[in-house]
Amino acid sequence: MRIIRKLAVAIALLTAISGGAAAQESIKVGDINHYKRMAAFAEPYRKGIELALKEINAAGGVLGRPLEFIFRDDQGKPGEAVKIAEELMTREDTVMLTGTILSNVGLAISSLAAEKGYVYLAAEPLADALVWSSGNPYTFRLRTSTFVQAAMLAEQAAKTDAVRYATIAPNYAYGTDAVEAFKTNLKRLKPEVEFVTEQWPALFKIDAGAEVQALEAAKPDAIYNVTFGSDLAKFVREGGTRGLFEGRMVYGLLTGEPEYLEPLGDEAPVGWVVTGYPWYAISEGPGKTFVDAYIAETGETPKNGSLVGYMTAQSIAALIEKAGSIETDALLEAFEGLTVDTPDGEITYRAIDNQSTMGAFIGTTAIEDGKGVMVDWAYVDPTPYMPSDDEIRAMRPAD
């Protein structure tokens, strides 16, 4: 009998131990990004996530469990991203997916999410097709819509005397969306404008000399620029050398983001109207708290990617807490109208299109202490710039 009692006690003890371990098992989220190909954005993004996770887990995690991100590199290739996504869903036991910068990769994961019935938070991709023309019930987006940021820039452009516009944008989903949005909004505000040339360099393969020459030959009054990263650097330097920007207003989507503006140093453009992230000038509130915490944690100054990563982890933690579950149906229901307190203030994930109400910083470029910065900036609510609900319903496929 003593042996039987000892066995019973041992079994009960093992059950208690395993039950306690299960209670502490982490909730896993699969993050897919271009960590090598676009390290300037992706690494700060990851550090922003890691800061948020540290804070979330120090406060007790979500549903009493640690929140964990499984990071994977897709090399910026849609096919590789889809392969990794399937592995994260089946082998890593992740509850949902997030990440990606490039829009073509985000669209590929979004399509897979719809096919497999799996929740995907597109943290960074900017193509509006993600939530509009190619939207689906399983895909949500954090970053400010391309349409909205282009509309903000078009509003500023419409206040000038410029009539003849030229555009330059990378030749893929984000670039084409960005140009179309700017044209649509500017023509609505100022019908007499005309677009005299459109340049479409391949992503990260710009022939800056040829592009600058083509833009100059068209003799525009103003230029709308959508290039970023190394393409932006080459375009700015070649355009500056050849005098393309002299006497012309330039409107730059994303140009004010630190990951793209700071590397230009004292070659940064002056007087461009841009969207970006002026972290160095945020002096109070939750935005300042985030900046200080990020610098203290990483020893680096934040980039826009840092902010997006931090808000991604915040959004997912808030989502799971609201759902009270990690089941897909509960997550989908909780995402509708989800509100999240962030460094940019409270944002909401809209039920009509799964797009967050994260706003955008808009201002003018300048050089201070040998570095490019944004001045005369403001953080702008996106709501007035969104298409109408009827327009969005017409764009989105039937669920």
Return the DSSP state at 92.
Answer: S
Selected residue with higher pLDDT from 38 and 49 = 49
**What three-state secondary structure class fits 280?**
helix
Question: What is this structure's pTM?
Answer: 0.91
Average pLDDT on 66-82 reads 96
Please check whether residue 144 is in contact with residue 156, taking contact to mean a CB–CB distance below 8 angstroms.
no
Burial state string for 119-133 with b = 16 or more CB within 10 A and e = fewer than 16: bbbbbbbbbbbbbbe
Which pLDDT band holds residue 66 (cuts at 50, 70, 90)?
very high
> What would the pLDDT profile of 145-170 be if each residue is shown by its tens digit?
999 999 999 999 999 999 999 999 99
Which pLDDT band holds residue 399 (cuts at 50, 70, 90)?
low
Q: Is 29 exposed, middle or buried (0-12, 13-18, 19+ CB in 10 A)?
A: buried
The pLDDT assigned to 17 comes to: 37
The pLDDT assigned to 12 comes to: 40
* Sign for the pseudo-dihedral over CA of 35, 41, 47, 52: negative
Q: Distance (Å, rounded) from C-alpha 171 to C-alpha 315?
A: 31
Q: Distance (Å, rounded) from C-alpha 253 to C-alpha 264?
A: 16
What interhelical angle do 173-189 and 103-116 show, nearest 10? 100
Average pLDDT on 67-75 reads 97
Q: Distance (Å, rounded) from C-alpha 131 to C-alpha 352?
A: 9
Closest Cα to residue 179, out of 206, 197, 163?
Answer: 197
Give the rounded percent of residues in the chain with a pLDDT score beyond 90. Answer: 91
| Residue 60 identity (one-letter amino acid) | G
Q: Return the residue matching tokens 């030749």.
A: 171
Burial state string for 156-176 with b = 16 or more CB within 10 A and e = fewer than 16: ebeeeebeebbbbbbebbbbb
Listed by start position, the domains of the chain span 26-146+283-359, 147-281+361-385
Q: Distance (Å, rounded) from C-alpha 399 to C-alpha 396?
A: 8
pLDDT exceeds 90 at position 377: yes
338 vs 250, 296, 319, 342, 388, CA distance in Å?
37, 30, 7, 13, 20
Give the rounded percent of residues in the chain with a pLDDT score beyond 70. Answer: 94
Please check whether residue 25 is in contact with residue 65, taking contact to mean a CB–CB distance below 8 angstroms.
yes
The pLDDT assigned to 173 comes to: 87
The pLDDT assigned to 15 comes to: 39
Average pLDDT on 96-124 reads 96
Give kind and range of the element (H or E) at residue 86.
Answer: helix 78-90
Phi-psi category of 76—alpha, beta or left, where left has phi over 0 and alpha has psi -120 to 50?
A: left
Q: Name the average pLDDT for the chain.
A: 93
Is 26-146+283-359's fold the same as 147-281+361-385's? Answer: yes
Question: Has domain 147-281+361-385 been given CATH number 3.40.50.2300?
Answer: yes
Burial state string for 254-265 with b = 16 or more CB within 10 A and e = fewer than 16: bbbbbbbbbbbe
> What would the pLDDT profile of 180-235 be if each residue is shown by its tens digit?
999 999 999 999 999 999 999 999 999 999 999 999 999 999 999 999 999 999 99
| Residue 216 identity (one-letter amino acid) | E
Q: Which range, of 17-31, 97-111, 183-197, 296-310, averages the lowest pLDDT?
A: 17-31
Please check whether residue 129 is in contact with residue 107, taking contact to mean a CB–CB distance below 8 angstroms.
yes
> What would the pLDDT profile of 310-369 be if each residue is shown by its tens digit?
999 999 999 999 999 999 999 999 999 999 999 999 999 999 999 999 999 999 999 999
Which pLDDT band holds residue 285 (cuts at 50, 70, 90)?
very high
Beta-sheet pairing, 360-368 with 371-380: antiparallel
Q: Return the residue matching tokens 């020893």.
A: 299
**What three-state secondary structure class fits 144?**
coil
Closest Cα to residue 100, out of 161, 151, 174?
Answer: 174
DSSP secondary structure of 14-50: HHHHHHHHHHTPPEEEEEEE-TTTTHHHHHHHHHHHH
CATH class for the region spanning 26-146+283-359: alpha beta
The pLDDT assigned to 3 comes to: 43
Both tokens of 169, joined, read 């944008």
Return the DSSP state at 192.
Answer: T
Q: Distance (Å, rounded) from C-alpha 128 to C-alpha 133?
A: 8
The pLDDT assigned to 143 comes to: 96
* Sign for the pseudo-dihedral over CA of 166, 359, 311, 97: negative
Return the DSSP state at 356.
Answer: B
Cα 361–chain centre separation? 13
Return the DSSP state at 208.
Answer: H
